[in-house]
Structure 1
């Protein structure tokens, strides 16, 4: 069995002996003389374990262990102790340390403990990989994130990278485009999926109660109420409509997050705080945001496209919403008439996914506008219907041929000049449909 061990000990001679023992056992050793240097380059995906002495100048082994717990509570840490440090090491064991070994430690005892820790680490990383794959499949099954348009392929790739990095981020897009859905997908895909996703509706926050909302409350009678920070620790805090939160409250939240600790209501000591922040907004959020919070979040920006920019996804999305509405309302899925298909292609969908979902439900209920008797003022003009239907057929042909214009011309049975004239008229580029 091979494995990676980050060894931290300020005693050069002992460090060399330990490294040699582990190397002879077939393990790969990364030796460090101090804890601060050993922290560099460590993240939640580190494929090995940490073996550290307790007593070291500067940051000692227990402080290093506390940092590593905040980084990844599932990272095995083995502590090396002198006889006088056993009580201290046992306390660390209760706090989550994997093992402690008393110096001098026998080679077989050392390698056995390290191998067990490496096996535990490998199992954790494999479970995370499987959970991440399940999260990716769930994200792709989410209608708001489905589709074969270039915009959605790029968006899903961005979601994967954001989730993997566990980065704070701004999620921008028009109303109804699925910003909250994107935040839930990042939670499902990322390393914090086993922890809570806590959502704060910033438009509903009252300034007078904000401190208690963050830190919790201790009523005279009854249990203590945990605050949002306690609930979101090691998870994700999603600030919905962040621009609705007054700037002083944004500054207070930023200060707590950057301090990395907070005082819960009724607590005798501060608690560590590790939280990923996602914030949603419509339009340009910078003018309404505290500069510090804006620049912290804007290091990663995810932009959700309006539905009008992913028209080729609309028919499949509509069919999904139709089926979901029919199931919920215990009705049959109605047929898609040419008139409904034409409206799907011609309408601008300013309400985006939310409007499309409402239209699907109305269609299931037989209340589709201008699909029967009643006011027809919302009916598109015939030229608009024809143009939208034609554009939809061209896009479908290009999807079928993978962006091959010659193949699309053959499918549609139109001459080259006519085909390219129509591409120009509808603003369609064959290159957008190539892999």
Structure 2
């Protein structure tokens, strides 16, 4: 859920501080006030979750000095300056230094509210972006996103940890929606290049000339960035839809790879989406380039092969969407669990995310079933027919695990409450939790 934004109000006049604070509080903002820039600087660090409104003329450290200090700490912090009548040149200078905008006294409260709304919106984007970058540089966080304990997922996690420590180029392939870009991030985050640049380029998003410039240059000064090969130097360059490269581009990329030598200065992770189209990456690339990129290879498992992971993922996703929409997550019946397990899932995890969100929305309205959503996605799917021919025992065990997992989560690890709801003796519950790898400590 989005973090609530604060507004720090800095002014040496108590009446002004209070009036601004009261007006913004009525508009729904969380405000805090400071009588001097010195006091405010003790609180306003680089990760301050909000914006600043400050007077320019203050005793001691004035507003301009205060602004420069703030910009030195965090140049992306929105600061709205309050100026006196006739101080427009000073306001223009404040904008040059980095102020978000300025208000001239006496100011219109509605304009202040509008500026606060725009500034907090901009700050939220910055904070979300920083949080995402931190998450994508944290190997343990990324590995935790690869949910599932099926044999194929356990092998995938082992492969990521092993190949992440290696230094060769990597080819990632698999069906659409299986999470190939997430795996590329994880490979970078668990390896020795974790603190270096991670640059991602979609080869399918550019015409050939534009892609050539983006990858190899020359970039014009107005482009404001280095070619990807230079930008990623020493780190990782991810090329999505590698099969979209023309023969000319393939030859140029191979030349760059050969020039780097071994070990490669920049690691290249190539992502291919051809598997489900009846062709492979090997068919689309010249053989010498393919074998250089596929020195190390990971093929992601389709969702339909991941067994009870499907129920685990659905549970986690529906809980997240339920929190986002402020409602209860839908309860999955035994029949619906079987439907989830036997669905063909051509869109894989991406499709499951969509189904989970729709299930939460229709549950909030009090209508519809998970089975109806699956049937709408797979018109040829029969309600009681399995597509994989799995034994009944597998469906029963998967549903049983999901039921215990959901109940433990709802009761926050209270064994007594779970025993009571599921009518299970303590010994039986302990045995089943051990069987399914469920730990009480994960729910407390």
* TM-score, normalised via structure 2 length: 0.51
Q: 1:189 to 1:392 in 2, by over 3 A?
A: same
Q: 1:203 to 1:158 in 2, by over 3 A?
A: same
Whole-Å Cα distance in 2 between the matches of residues 368 and 359 of structure 1? Answer: 11
Whole-Å Cα distance in 2 between the matches of residues 381 and 397 of structure 1? Answer: 20
Asked if structure 2 preserves the Cα contact closer than 8 Å seen for 1:346 and 1:380, the reply is no
Whole-Å Cα distance in 1 between the matches of residues 353 and 344 of structure 2? Answer: 14
Displacement of 1:377: 5.4
Whole-Å Cα distance in 2 between the matches of residues 206 and 302 of structure 1? Answer: 28
Whole-Å Cα distance in 2 between the matches of residues 234 and 194 of structure 1? Answer: 10
Unaligned runs of 5+ in 1: 1-130, 262-272, 400-432
Asked if structure 1 preserves the Cα contact closer than 8 Å seen for 2:303 and 2:349, the reply is yes
Whole-Å Cα distance in 1 between the matches of residues 222 and 240 of structure 2? Answer: 30
Whole-Å Cα distance in 2 between the matches of residues 364 and 306 of structure 1? Answer: 24
Residue of 377, 381, 384 corresponding to 1:382? 384
Displacement of 1:211: 3.3
Q: Secondary structure at the match of 1:322?
A: helix
Q: 1:368 to 1:290 in 2, by over 3 A?
A: farther
Q: Secondary structure at the match of 2:307?
A: helix
Displacement of 1:344: 0.8
Aligned counterpart, 1:276: 267
Aligned counterpart, 1:294: 290
Q: 1:257 to 1:299 in 2, by over 3 A?
A: closer
Asked if structure 2 preserves the Cα contact closer than 8 Å seen for 1:362 and 1:368, the reply is no
Q: Which whole-Å deviations, capped at 9, do the CAs of 1:394-432 have from their partners, x for residues lacking one?
A: 467899xxxxxxxxxxxxxxxxxxxxxxxxxxxxxxxxx
Q: CA RMSD in A?
A: 3.5
Aligned counterpart, 1:157: 158
Displacement of 1:135: 4.1
Whether 1:393 and 2:393 are equivalent positions in the alignment is no
Displacement of 1:141: 1.2
Q: 1:237 to 1:222 in 2, by over 3 A?
A: closer
* TM-score, normalised via structure 1 length: 0.52
Aligned counterpart, 1:330: 326
Asked if structure 2 preserves the Cα contact closer than 8 Å seen for 1:216 and 1:225, the reply is no
Whole-Å Cα distance in 2 between the matches of residues 178 and 377 of structure 1? Answer: 25
Q: 1:288 to 1:223 in 2, by over 3 A?
A: closer
Displacement of 1:324: 2.1
Displacement of 1:327: 2.9
Whole-Å Cα distance in 2 between the matches of residues 378 and 337 of structure 1? Answer: 22
Asked if structure 1 preserves the Cα contact closer than 8 Å seen for 2:311 and 2:398, the reply is no
Displacement of 1:390: 4.5
Q: 1:319 to 1:230 in 2, by over 3 A?
A: same
Unaligned runs of 5+ in 2: 1-133, 363-367, 403-436, 438-444
Whole-Å Cα distance in 2 between the matches of residues 190 and 301 of structure 1? Answer: 16
Displacement of 1:205: 2.6
Aligned counterpart, 1:253: 253
Whether 1:348 and 2:340 are equivalent positions in the alignment is no
Whole-Å Cα distance in 2 between the matches of residues 178 and 300 of structure 1? Answer: 18
Q: Which whole-Å deviations, capped at 9, do the CAs of 1:122-176 have from their partners, x for residues lacking one?
A: xxxxxxxxx9xx944223310xx22111111111111011110122111111111
Displacement of 1:329: 3.1
